[in-house]
Amino acid sequence: MIRAVKKKFKRWFAGSLNREITPDEIFLDSSNLPGFDTDQFEGRLEKPISQKVLLFLFFCFVLVILTFSSRIWFLQVEEGEAYLERSENNRLRHNLVFSNRGLIYDRTGLEIVSNTIHSGGEDFSLRHYKKIPGLSHLIGYVKYPERDSAGFYYQTDFVGKDGIEKSYGSTLLGENGLQLVETDALGNIYSQSTVKPPVDGQSLTLSIDSRVQSQLFKIIAQTAEQFGFQGGAAALMDVRSGELLALTSFPEFDSETLSLGSDVSLIDSLLSDPNKPFLNRAIAGLYAPGSIIKPFLAVG
């Protein structure tokens, strides 16, 4: 029964492909044309699809299948591990955890340089310099880590630019840590874990007494203003131990302003100041020495 149906279907299909159009199908009765419903495809000649067209479509279909199959093979087998590693790198992000720079104290234990969290949302703490006159040249200032327009840090360390911040930069500088952040396809944070904890820098205790330093600076500033001097410097030493109790220079700059670098107009005014506030006259000024015999005369 099934075989008979198959044979009959094959004969019908083959006949429909090779069927010739009869004359009555070619010459339509023009008088009957107005009565045909064109929406139902009446009055139209139907020609079966040829075997060549079907064979061409079959080969096109096979070609598309082979193309997609070969591409899937390439992505899944040939380059599967490479794309897996790339996807893992996109999913896992390494964030830098900045360490805190070491603190600075005077000889009495007063904290003259500390770290503070900035409201601007920086990834690192900012240096806070206590507002004590006469300390700027001694302490110096720093340059903060910087990043490019894409948000990646190309400078990851604090760089001391002057004074103690520069001379003892390696001691004050800590060691940054590393944090592993896992995100989803939308970039939302899924989990965080610290791979390497940061190590803060070492703190320093100076021999300088900040109160003595401040008073000495004020005396120099008043004297310079009274006699019209451009600047001045002074040092106070403990002759028994050789420790410096004060070392100051007038005029001076603001360490916090230079570290932030945001007040461009103020920095420009300091650079163009004829009194040279960046010159540390206590150690860099070239002055003729006084008479060395006078101390002996004073002792005698």
User: Is 285 a residue whose pLDDT tops 80?
Assistant: no
Give pLDDT tens digits for 265-281: 999 999 999 999 999 99
Give the pLDDT confidence score for residue 9 in this predicted structure: 45
Q: Above 60 in pLDDT, residue 202?
A: yes
Are the C-beta atoms of 115 and 126 separated by less than 8 Å? yes
Taking Cα atoms as reference points, which of 72, 161, 132, 159 lies closest to residue 252? 132
At 198, is the pLDDT very low, low, confident or very high (cuts 50, 70, 90)?
A: very high
168/147 Cα distance (integer angstroms): 24
pLDDT of 223 > 90? The answer is yes
DSSP state of 124: S
pLDDT over threshold 90, residue 205: yes
What gap in Å lies between CA 129 and CA 141, rounded to an integer?
Answer: 9
**What integer best gives the mean pLDDT of the chain?**
81
Of the CA atoms within 13 Å of residue 88, those in its CB half-sphere come to 6
Residue type at 285? Answer: G
Active site residues: 291
Side-chain-side CA neighbours of 13 within 13 Å: the count stands at: 8
Residue type, 77: V
Residue 151 per-residue DSSP state: S
pLDDT tens per residue, range 53-107: 778 888 888 888 888 887 777 767 666 676 666 565 556 777 889 999 999 999 9
| Most distant CA pair in the chain, distance | 149
Q: How many CA atoms lie within 13 A of 153 on its CB side?
A: 16
Integer Cα distance of 183 and 94 in angstroms: 11
Write down the pLDDT at residue 251: 95
Query: Between the CA of residue 146 and those of 154, 176, 300, what are the distances in Å?
Result: 6, 14, 60
Q: How far apart are CA 235 and CA 168, in angstroms?
A: 20
Ranges 169-178, 179-188, 200-209: which has the least confidence: 179-188
3-class SS at 239?
Answer: coil
* pTM of the predicted protein model: 0.65
Q: How far is CA 209 from CA 134, 141, 282, 291, in A?
A: 11, 19, 16, 29
pLDDT band at 32 (very low <50, low <70, confident <90, very high): low
Residue of 40 and 245 predicted with greater confidence: 245
* Mean pLDDT of all residues in 202-215: 96
Strand-pair category, 104-105 with 204-205: parallel
